[in-house]
Amino acid sequence: MIKVAIQKSGRLSDDTISLFRECGIRFSRGTGRLKSTATNFPLEFLFLRDDDIPGYVADGVAHLGVVGENVMIEKKKDVILRKKLGFSKCRLSVAIPKGNEYNGPEDLRNKSIATSYPVVLQKWLDEKGLTAELHEISGSVEIAPSIGLAEAVCDIVSTGSTLLSNGLKEVETVMRSEAVLISNKNLDAKQTALLEKLLFRMNAVQTGGSNKYILLNAPNEQLDKIISLLPGMKSPTVLPLHMEGWSSVHSVMAEDDYWEVVEELKNNGAQGILVVPIENMII
């Protein structure tokens, strides 16, 4: 059995639980529970504070962990990044009072900056050749300029609404972050094999989520053009229809290309276009 540490509450927790359930792993998540064992996979969940997860994984208390990439870097624990998971995306940004003029990173030189991520921020400052006075605080970072603690802040931003409501404007992106799967660096052979099985399922879910299955009817004289728009995984499947002169075309397309491709297909005579979400896709 392998143990995986995940955030006990919040958006990252919800998205992580959804991912494991989409991977076909069944477990219960009762309010206040700190542990849960899967019923159909040798996996035990530990529900922990986000900031504690890298340490628990590095120490071997948990074999795996799901955490924000920014937290993984900030904690500087000796863990292995196994996979970027594509959800809970955000950015770590510098913000200043919205009435202040800003001309670039040089304006931050020798300024006081409040942040919960001094390691990540210091690395960025070093790359820019800047020095600044960092005030490490946890929570309510946005209030620092208004109470005179700092001249700027560096904090996690998703929509930017919290900054705006506190009279701040975003001026620099220090890093972009998303949820990542990390592991202890000393997994044994059985644990590594279970990790590979888990990664296989995660890859199938992620690949399926970023693609669509498309079915359409096409006039035979336009098949070559329509097929050129639908490369599929290898090539589209083409089946003759009962109606003479028409074929049914089945393929897979990237979700990001959907609207452009569908418009082109319609312009080239495709009819009865049906687009279906893909739950899992193994390539």
Domains of the chain in sequence order: 2-86+179-208 (3.40.190.10), 90-177 (3.40.190.10), 211-277 (3.30.70.120)
pLDDT tens digits, one per residue of 78-121: 999 999 999 999 999 999 999 999 999 999 999 999 999 999 99
Q: What's the pLDDT score for residue 218?
A: 95
Average pLDDT over the chain, rounded to an integer: 93
Question: Cα angle at 49 between 82 and 134, to 5 degrees?
Answer: 90
The secondary element (H helix, E strand) that includes residue 20 is helix 11-22
State percent of the chain over pLDDT 70: 98
Q: What is the pLDDT of residue 68?
A: 96
What is the predicted pLDDT for the residue at 282? 83
> What pLDDT, on a 0 to 100 scale, did the predictor assign at position 61?
97
**How many alpha carbons fall within 13 Å on the CB side of residue 35?**
7
Position 259 scores a pLDDT of 85
Write the DSSP string, 76-128.
T-SEEEEEE-S-S-EEEEEEEETTS---SGGGGTT-EEEES-HHHHHHHHHHH
Q: What's the Cα-to-Cα distance from 66 to each of 15, 82, 104, 181, 200, rounded to whole Å?
A: 10, 10, 34, 5, 16
> Tens digits of per-residue pLDDT, 36-56?
999 999 999 999 999 999 999
**Percent residues over pLDDT 90 in the chain:** 80
What pLDDT is attached to residue 10?
A: 81
Cα–Cα distance measured from residue 210 to residue 257, given in angstroms and rounded to the nearest whole number: 10
The 3-state DSSP class for residue 182 equals strand
- State pTM to two decimals: 0.85
Task: Indicate if the pLDDT at residue 27 is higher than 80.
Answer: yes
For residue 119, which phi and psi values (nearest 5 degrees)?
A: -65, -50
CB atoms within 10 A of CB 67: 30
pLDDT band at 140; cut points 50, 70, 90 = confident
Structure-token match 């290898």, residue found: 234
Residue type, 86: G
Contact 194, 42 (CB under 8 A): yes
Rounded to 5°, angle at Cα 200 from 61 and 189: 45
- For residue range 202-259, what is the model confidence (pLDDT) as tens digits? 999 988 888 889 999 999 999 999 999 886 667 899 999 999 999 999 999 888 888 8
